[in-house]
Structure 1
């Protein structure tokens, strides 16, 4: 009996010991991976200052949140309606997603070699010939930082406008919402959202990976709820498959071909955040492998999620002319209300998108603070000593975050003067990010992709093809975002994006010759790091 009774106890002890050993092995492996990542960062010339608290899935989840597909597609739904309706909504999304997949592959290959928070700016510097690397990296860095700031501004301001449109599914009379949406009201909502996103990002940094994980399941549940309800209830009926997949009704006033291109703006806006997650490289356990996988994997996930969200909405699409004429410029709340048949039900279905809007703002706020901090760390921003500091208590670049927030709020004040002029910043945000993504891809491509072959994500001939597609898209996207969405052009519909973009490039270039040429030396190269880290005896010889 004694022998029989002791066996289970022995097995239990052995099981506990085995479990303990497995846990210890996992911890040791994780610490080993972090040491390796920090060692690579030191080899690239930087001292590790941020905590590596994100796994592969968590950085992928953050990348998903930065795009926030259902929310991003909702706030920009007006563009494909103008461009061509159903064909633009469905096939335009699929086409741009395939192109962005090529951009993701191209950036992933380069990031596997140079995984730093400097992102595309650092990569451009390292890949460029020494004769002009400083000026090219300077332009890329300013484009990347400005793009991050303006996209974050656009996300938070778009969230304010979208929330007001959601509230206005409740009406005081036919066609009149309960929220007037005056300029000061929109700005105050934007201000509240901006402050909230910065507060959560600053004081909840350790929990952000959990928040990003929650966002994935929240998005899935929200999209399924919207899809099922609008298709099942469909108060005003459903279109047939021919309408959904083949109907093309350009209403932009442009020739048919260019009108279709205008409709691509929805997908282009939504996917513009593709490379922003690179700024999180120094908070990822294995950035050389995890970040490239996250960028590419998330693009594929976004493509599927986008189709799952868009196709049901097109099946219940009301008259497109009425949607285009909406004063709010936000058709999705009206589409869902039309399908559900009552305001309360529509608002409940819109809640997942509202929450996702806030999560997207938090993700963008986090990413923009890292991009500003990384550029300041290399002396690319005036008074860099202030912006490159990492707060020891919060373990984040708090000063850089505050600087970004102040700039966003200051730019938001332009809305009081002209909403048209303010909207140009959304377009410029996409343009500058597109330019910044194109810089390292172009330099690497012209150099025969030599450095990419040293990375863990080299895709060979497929990568070569993706580089060509990514650069071709950049050539198209810049003029596309500079054109008016529809014609004839009036003072209310003119696109000021090209003026702002050219002004920005002139300012950045001029500032380089006035200040940067003498003060800015760029990020430390691998050679510089080797010199800095050599033994004292070698230094004295």
Structure 2
């Protein structure tokens, strides 16, 4: 057996001097997987079984809550019927994507995920560049998603204040300060309570499902309900695209994908889960099913109980249409405030889990030499067994983005779309590489403990087709004839990042970055 190692293997363990006994290495399967991938176990495996990770990724996805936030896309483009039916389409497409990534995660359960899978499954002559590019897209996607995750509960808290104070005008600098407070709380919990995080996730699952049930009961019992015919068959083009079909496609796909993206979230904790190659893919699938189910039920409930027109909801003084829906249903400031407070709490815990996933992805890519100053960013604290430096970088990046989005929804929407487009790029490339490996080099495709079997090729094809369609739609503006302020500038920022990472690769990184496949044990 021969071990292929590149110059960055030493960088994988800046803290090699510490004893392996200090780190919880997991099961024999975990040790074997890490050895095969050429990685040293540096993080403690605090998550046991699929249940703890299920709770983590369920709260991180928080689909039924995020559905309420993103419902504005569908109300403007597509109407109630468009929002519901396109959400179901997105759920089906995302499930194919999740199944594809779950199979890859069972073969290579590493915190790096997409860029590692691309390196292992792509054609040899393209593996290094494609892996590097996907790594950068993942960094951009998760770091910008972190900014949105901290900003969204801040907006919810502002809406909560506006419920009780009719003179409150939602000042942008308040949202900025709230974003920073949520970010700091998330970072502190990720440093000081990381060993207790699985237990905390158990508590949050209880709050998650109790809030879900209670809020839906309140809306169905107290809310003014529309007819089933209007809800399920009334498509609309409120933005003026001139085509109901195009409006539905844009609003439904953009809103639905924003609610359900992040299929790879749990996989970035691979190196902190015991028996990861078995429990990780199952946790990904169970989480997806739970999020899709609660999301669909929530979307249908919300569309039945809007209590006002799309124009009234989008122009609410509360800032968030779904908070106005709560007030319309309860006719009570206290009742709407309690519901909104539960939503804010769940969104804050989403931000906490987002920090964990974002920092682990950044740490893994730096460990493989993909970032500038990789030796610093990829360092693991020898006492806490945590990637403290990647947490600090995440803090600083989110702090900078918070300045950009202060006081305006336009940059916030751009950041959200940029996150979706970047992560979607990584999904497209790794799914495409898996399909190539399965079709053209199947003899060398490792068999994991979650195997799609003969259905794998069809599932990969369906996932890839769905991802490409979503990718195109994400760059559409939210309304026709956009002005400079309403234009979707995501394509520009995405293009600059794509071009910049490519230039950096050919000028410098190609001499340093070998790609994870170079470290893999081969018989």
The Cα of 1:33 is off from its aligned counterpart by 5.9
The Cα of 1:459 is off from its aligned counterpart by 1.3
For residues 408 and 447 of structure 1, the distance between their equivalents in structure 2, rounded to whole angstroms, comes to: 37
The Cα of 1:418 is off from its aligned counterpart by 6.0
Aligned twin of 1:251: 238
Aligned twin of 2:510: 517
| Segment drifting more, 257-266 vs 145-154 | 257-266
Is the contact made by 1:452 and 1:458 (CA closer than 8 Å) also made in structure 2?
Answer: no
The answer to whether residue 365 in structure 2 is matched with residue 375 in structure 1 is yes
| Segment drifting more, 362-371 vs 473-482 | 473-482
Q: Which one of 377, 398, 413 corresponds to residue 387 of structure 1?
A: 377
For residues 440 and 379 of structure 1, the distance between their equivalents in structure 2, rounded to whole angstroms, comes to: 19
Alignment of 1:230-249 (within 5 A): 230-234=219-223, 237-249=224-236
Change beyond 3 A, Cα 1:419–1:86: closer
SS in structure 2 at match of 1:509: helix
For residues 75 and 149 of structure 2, the distance between their equivalents in structure 1, rounded to whole angstroms, comes to: 20
SS in structure 1 at match of 2:486: coil
Give the TM-score of the pair, scaled to structure 2: 0.90
The Cα of 1:419 is off from its aligned counterpart by 4.7
For residues 53 and 405 of structure 2, the distance between their equivalents in structure 1, rounded to whole angstroms, comes to: 34
Aligned twin of 1:353: 343
Structure showing greater radius of gyration is: 1
Aligned twin of 1:275: 264
The answer to whether residue 340 in structure 2 is matched with residue 340 in structure 1 is no
Alignment of 1:168-187 (within 5 A): 168-172=162-166, 178-187=167-176
Aligned twin of 1:471: 464
For residues 445 and 147 of structure 2, the distance between their equivalents in structure 1, rounded to whole angstroms, comes to: 33
Is the contact made by 1:425 and 1:500 (CA closer than 8 Å) also made in structure 2?
Answer: no
Structure 2: gaps spanning 5 or more residues = 1-23
The Cα of 1:388 is off from its aligned counterpart by 1.1
Is the contact made by 2:428 and 2:468 (CA closer than 8 Å) also made in structure 1?
Answer: no
> In the TM superposition, what whole-angstrom CA distance separates every residue of 1:324-362 from its partner, at most 9, and x where no partner exists?
233665210000100000111101112221111011001
Aligned twin of 2:83: 89
Is the contact made by 1:79 and 1:263 (CA closer than 8 Å) also made in structure 2?
Answer: yes
The Cα of 1:530 is off from its aligned counterpart by 6.1
For residues 204 and 288 of structure 1, the distance between their equivalents in structure 2, rounded to whole angstroms, comes to: 25
For residues 353 and 190 of structure 1, the distance between their equivalents in structure 2, rounded to whole angstroms, comes to: 16
For residues 413 and 387 of structure 1, the distance between their equivalents in structure 2, rounded to whole angstroms, comes to: 23
Aligned twin of 1:303: 292
Structure 1: gaps spanning 5 or more residues = 1-30, 173-177, 532-541
| Segment drifting more, 43-52 vs 414-423 | 414-423
For residues 502 and 39 of structure 1, the distance between their equivalents in structure 2, rounded to whole angstroms, comes to: 39
The Cα of 1:95 is off from its aligned counterpart by 1.4
Q: How many residues align?
A: 493
Higher relative contact order (CA 8 A, sep 6+): 2
The Cα of 1:121 is off from its aligned counterpart by 0.8
Alignment of 1:63-78 (within 5 A): 63-78=57-72
Alignment of 1:406-485 (within 5 A): 406-416=396-406, 419-448=409-438, 450=442, 454-485=447-478
> In the TM superposition, what whole-angstrom CA distance separates every residue of 1:430-483 from its partner, at most 9, and x where no partner exists?
001011112121012122352556112221232222211211122112221111
The Cα of 1:280 is off from its aligned counterpart by 0.5
SS in structure 2 at match of 1:348: helix
SS in structure 2 at match of 1:410: helix
The Cα of 1:422 is off from its aligned counterpart by 4.4
Q: Which one of 176, 184, 192 corresponds to residue 195 of structure 1?
A: 184
Aligned twin of 1:7: none
Q: Which one of 215, 219, 224 corresponds to residue 208 of structure 2?
A: 219
For residues 452 and 63 of structure 1, the distance between their equivalents in structure 2, rounded to whole angstroms, comes to: 28
Q: Which one of 132, 135, 142 corresponds to residue 148 of structure 1?
A: 142
> In the TM superposition, what whole-angstrom CA distance separates every residue of 1:279-311 from its partner, at most 9, and x where no partner exists?
100011111111111111111111111122222
Is the contact made by 1:42 and 1:48 (CA closer than 8 Å) also made in structure 2?
Answer: no
> In the TM superposition, what whole-angstrom CA distance separates every residue of 1:130-168 from its partner, at most 9, and x where no partner exists?
222111000000001111111111111122112212322
For residues 388 and 46 of structure 1, the distance between their equivalents in structure 2, rounded to whole angstroms, comes to: 13
The Cα of 1:417 is off from its aligned counterpart by 8.3
Question: Which stretches of structure 1, 4 residues or more, deviate above 3 A after TM superposition?
Answer: 326-329, 416-419, 524-527
SS in structure 1 at match of 2:33: helix
Q: Which one of 493, 496, 508 corresponds to residue 486 of structure 2?
A: 493
> In the TM superposition, what whole-angstrom CA distance separates every residue of 1:378-412 from its partner, at most 9, and x where no partner exists?
00011111111111332211110110110111122
